[in-house]
Amino acid sequence: MSVDLTKNFFEVFGLPQQYEVDRDALASSFRALQAQVHPDRFVNGTDEERRIAMQSTAFLNEANDTLQNERLRARYLLELQGVEFSDETGTTNDQDFLMQQLEIRGLIEDAENATDPFEELDQLRKMIKSRKLDVENNFQTSYDQGDFIVAKQAAIKLRFCERIFGEIQAIEERLEDL
């Protein structure tokens, strides 16, 4: 048994090709497929069987990771539509959004020196999570309407949100070590 590597990630897991993903169905399908192709099942198999099991497992892991992550899923959906961009060099031309990012970074710096930095950072995380949901809704609406230019901008904004969450986590870890 091997996974059809020519199928897209949604097809592999039997999911509709859309932004909203049924995480329970994804997890269930992932576990079932992993159980069929996991390399441990082919320890005594031929070299080819072991190689195919490794390829299938790697493909399933990448597919699962992509569909579990909102940003990666958005990017993947756009790539399926022929829209390509780089997470590292792609940027948005939305000046209001960029200004918000600068303001948020300033608030994060201020929170680090607050009386209760963990509470301040938690409040910022909630605010950013709310904004991220707005960006996700914008992506979904734009994508569903076939406006891939706007959807691409939303996908890029998701990367900004991820980075801010990472900055907050790094500060919390640094504060915990003090």
pLDDT digits (tens, 9 = 90+) for 115-159: 999 999 999 999 999 999 999 999 999 999 999 999 999 999 999
Residue 106: what pLDDT? 92
Residues 49 and 121 grouped into a single domain? no
100: in domain: yes
Please give the model's pTM, rounded to 2 decimal places: 0.88
Residues 159 and 106 grouped into a single domain? yes
Residues 165 and 106 grouped into a single domain? yes
CATH code for the domain of 159: 1.20.1280.20
Domain hosting residue 158, numbered range: 95-176
Residues 37 and 101 grouped into a single domain? no
111: in domain: yes
What domain count does the chain have?
A: 2
80: in domain: no
CATH code for the domain of 28: 1.10.287.110
152: in domain: yes
pLDDT digits (tens, 9 = 90+) for 6-62: 899 999 999 999 999 999 999 999 999 999 988 787 888 888 888 888 999 999 999
- Secondary structure of the chain in the HEC alphabet? CCCCCCCCHHHHHCCCCCCCCCHHHHHHHHHHHHHHHCHHHHCCCCHHHHHHHHHHHHHHHHHHHHHHCHHHHHHHHHHHCCCCCCCCCCCCCCHHHHHHHHHHHHHHHHHHCCCCHHHHHHHHHHHHHHHHHHHHHHHHHHHHCCCHHHHHHHHHHHHHHHHHHHHHHHHHHHHHCC
Residues 57 and 114 grouped into a single domain? no
Residues 99 and 63 grouped into a single domain? no
Residues 100 and 45 grouped into a single domain? no
132: in domain: yes
